[in-house]
Amino acid sequence: MGADDPILSVRGLRTEFSGDRGDVRVLDDVSFDVGRGKIVGLVGESGSGKSMTALSLMGLVPRPQGNVSASSILLDGRDISKLEPAAMRRIRGRDIAMVFQEPMTSLNPVRKVWEQVGEPLAIHQGLGRSAIRKRVLDMFDLVGIPEPKTRLDAYPHQLSGGLRQRAMIAMGLICEPKLLIADEPTTALDVTTQAQILRLMRDLRDRVGTSIIMITHDLGIIAEMCDEVNVMYAGQMVEQADVFDLFERPSHPYTRGLLASIPRATVARAARRMPSIPGMVPNLAKLPPGCRFAPRCSDAMPQCQRPPDLLPVGVGHSARCWLHSAGAALPEGEMR
């Protein structure tokens, strides 16, 4: 693999759930790349499919209700999209690790933190207790846990929220994964702690070269952290761009809507929530026939009754919108 090849390359990811009321496709043809040592954002309103994307990549979508398929998911050049659950377990925590929003729910309250943080080493590398303890100590140091030695034997409730999240990041990184997925990693934290954790993650990328998928509602976090951005809407990618292009030239009306109510001068500062766009995210079981955003879009045209493709609007910049397609020039009634 060349140094320029992405560490992760997802093509045609599709995740469906079957239930009493039929099948619901929660991810539809999701494709994106994560460059080596890059921080790539996934942003979108609640229910747009951000966490589902992460869970699908991790092989953590519940079966048999959920069904994940993809043309390919190349992790460092290896296609992991058709792996059996046992093979996926070997990848999880070793090659791809995940940090969740609320560390308390992912930590066992009655086990010491070092045992939990070090568990991936026991699973994937078969290390003994003293080697694991030593490695956890190093990781605590790396993620800036003060007095790391005394924290090894703490129980989760004895750590503050910020320290718990640092411990979770230590656990995510302990096997030196190729990719770390952080799903709203700071949402449960106060603003100061949030800024510290974000600084830590950026720092780790700079020092260790960790490639990170950063999932967030918060465009301030995107502006501050990310190199590339993927905007999701109703289970699809609707815009992909590098972070400067996205803020300078938002091309999808949805992205523009997200950006519109943020005063430009403050975009680079953290801790803003996603502004609201009038209307609701569509019910995935009853999607409009064409563009999924059309019912909320002030630029909607007759063409929007057909689904637009995700097409280039600039170098490394794509949008799923008829405004940027040749088809948009067709007069009303003359649909291809």
Ligand X SMILES: Nc1ncnc2c1ncn2[C@@H]1O[C@H](COP(=O)(O)OP(=O)(O)OP(=O)(O)O)[C@@H](O)[C@H]1O
Residues contributing to the site for Mg ion (CB under 5 A): 50-51
DSSP assignment string, 158-197: GS-HHHHHHHHHHHHHTT--SEEEEESTTTTS-HHHHHHH
Closest Cα partner for 164 from 92, 211, 227, 113?
A: 113
Binding range to ligand X, per CB under 6 A, among 40-48, 148-156, 253-261, 307-315 = 40-48
Considering Cα of 291, then 294, then 299, then 300, what sign does the dihedral take? positive
Beta-strand relationship, 211-216 and 236-242: unpaired
Burial of residue 64 (CB within 10 Å: 0-12, 13-18, 19+) is exposed
How far apart (Å, rounded) are the C-alpha atoms in residues 81 and 72?
A: 6
- Least distance in angstroms from the C-beta of 220 to ligand X: 16
- Least distance in angstroms from the C-beta of 50 to Mg ion: 5
- Least distance in angstroms from the C-beta of 229 to ligand X: 15
- Least distance in angstroms from the C-beta of 211 to Mg ion: 20
Residue 129's CB is within 10 A of a number of other CB atoms, namely: 11
Out of 9, 36, 51, 103, the only residue in the binding site for ligand X (CB under 6 A) is 51
Q: Which residue has the tokens 């869970």?
A: 55
How far apart (Å, rounded) are the C-alpha atoms in residues 218 and 225?
A: 11
The listed partner (ligand X, Mg ion, none) that binds 298, CB under 5 to 8 Å by sort, is none
25 part of the interface to ligand X, by CB under 6 A: no
56 part of the interface to ligand X, by CB under 6 A: no
172 part of the interface to ligand X, by CB under 6 A: no
Of the pair 64, 331, the CB lying nearest ligand X is at 64
How far apart (Å, rounded) are the C-alpha atoms in residues 183 and 185?
A: 5
CB 321 within 8 A of CB 308: yes
The listed partner (Mg ion, ligand X, none) that binds 49, CB under 5 to 8 Å by sort, is ligand X
- Least distance in angstroms from the C-beta of 57 to ligand X: 12
- Least distance in angstroms from the C-beta of 113 to ligand X: 26
Please tell me whether residue 11 adopts helix, strand or coil conformation.
Answer: strand
44 part of the interface to ligand X, by CB under 6 A: yes
Binding-site size for ligand X (CB under 6 A) equals: 14
Of the pair 254, 322, the CB lying nearest ligand X is at 254
- Least distance in angstroms from the C-beta of 27 to ligand X: 8
Out of 10, 52, 74, 96, the only residue in the binding site for ligand X (CB under 6 A) is 52
Of the pair 51, 211, the CB lying nearest Mg ion is at 51
Of the pair 30, 117, the CB lying nearest Mg ion is at 30
Distances (CA, A) of 161 to 129, 188, 230: 26, 8, 28
- Least distance in angstroms from the C-beta of 5 to ligand X: 27
Of the pair 51, 210, the CB lying nearest Mg ion is at 51
Of the pair 136, 214, the CB lying nearest ligand X is at 214
- Virtual CA dihedral for 256, 261, 265, 267, nearest 10 degrees? -70
Instruction: Write the binding mask 1 to 20 for ligand X: x where contact by CB under 6 A, - elsewhere.
Output: ----------------x---
Residue 114's CB is within 10 A of a number of other CB atoms, namely: 24
Q: Which residues here bind ligand X, judged by CB under 6 A? A: 17, 24, 26, 44, 46-52, 62, 217, 284
